[in-house]
Amino acid sequence: MSEDNKTPSVILENVSKWYGQVMGINDVSLAIDGGVTGILGPNGAGKSTLFKLLMGRLKPSQGSVKLFGIDPWSDTSPYRRIGYVSESERLYDWMTAQDFVSTLARLHGMTREEANARAEHVLDFVGLHDVRHKEIGKYSKGMRQRVKIAHALVHDPDLIILDEPLHGCDPIARTSIMNVIRELGSQGKTVLVSSHILEEIERITEQIVILHNGRLLALGNLYAIRDLLDKHPHRIMITTDEPRKLASAFISEEPVYGVRFPEEGKLEIQTNDLSAAHSVLPRVIVNSKVSVSRIDNPDDNLESLLGYLIGGT
């Protein structure tokens, strides 16, 4: 492990992958090592293709993929140090979580006893300790995701790749999975998490890679990117009974440069500094004594971020 510290765990050099005429990944170069990295991109951006290239499921049409310095297409040895959570929803529904995880642990060459102990440990880690002897078929979606994560962690890997781990989970499972991912990052492991929801990634990590149409769009700290976004005109949508009364309270605030009433019972606030606007928001609402049922950030999503990034470059 120590000798690998010099080279990053994941290296992609000018990797392209196309399926017939369709481009999956287009000339992507990346080096990732240590901590949690969010792979962000809308559906079809090439996130899963990227992961499948990393896991040796697909052969790059061009360029080279290296995991710990080894090409995963021809050599399975890096998998000893990698945990992979695929996007597939299917599991062996007839198995218990304990069975499933320990069986897969044995594929790492563990004995039955070792595998059982490790399975129990990781299922405890993802919060499924109490239900681990129940059949997976009876699990909720969030529990199933956590089983998948548990199997990826069973051999204590250095690199963990999670393809949409939060997909379809309820808020409680989401929080618990996010905690697990953050915990892994803080243990010094390299974690790759993909998502098409900015907010999810934001809660996990600052380090992101943005993919769009198979291209690497941005790479770096989320907040640096976010700051760029903040300087862009931004909207906050407030649903309230008295939009005009609230509008008059907002119009005097510094970050707000305009208000609009797009429809009955709604107030749209326009700002150039989203974080500043958010910081004054609670105070203004409380002081105006107007009841507010909902606050939305229609521009605070991946699409508008991408739109801005594409427009800006």
What does the binding site for another protein look like in residue numbers (CB under 8 A)?
Answer: 52, 55, 57-59, 76-77, 79-80, 82-84, 86, 88-92, 94-95, 103-104, 106-111, 148, 151-152
| Residue number with CB closer to another protein (53 or 306) | 53
Q: Is the CB of 91 or the CB of 280 nearer to another protein?
A: 91
Q: How far is the CB of 298 from another protein (least distance, A)?
A: 35
Q: CB nearer to another protein: give 79 or 308.
A: 79
And the tokens for 136? 């997976």
Nearest to 215 by CA among 4, 46, 18: 46
8-state DSSP, 276: H
* Residue 38 CA: distances (Å) to CA of 23, 185, 221, 223: 22, 11, 10, 13
Angle at 285 between CA 284 and CA 287, to 5 degrees: 65
Look up tokens 């009876």; give the residue. Answer: 138
Smallest distance, another protein to C-beta of residue 86, A: 4
Tokens encoding 245: 């009364």
* Least gap, CB of 101 to another protein (angstroms): 10
Residue 111 or 248 with smaller CB distance to another protein: 111
Distance separating alpha carbons of residues 60 and 17, to the nearest angstrom: 5
HEC per residue, 171-237 = HHHHHHHHHHHHHHHHCCCEEEEEECCHHHHHHHCCEEEEEECCEEEEEEEHHHHHHHHHCCCEEEE
Distance from C-alpha of 66 to C-alpha of 151, rounded to nearest angstrom: 23
Closer residue to another protein, CB minimum distance, 211 or 292: 211
As measured in angstroms, the least distance from the Cβ of 78 to another protein is 8
Report the residue number, 112 or 245, with the smaller CB distance to another protein. 112
For the bound state, the minimum distance from the C-beta of residue 150 to another protein, rounded and expressed in Å, comes to 11
Q: C-beta of 284: minimal distance to another protein in Å?
A: 49
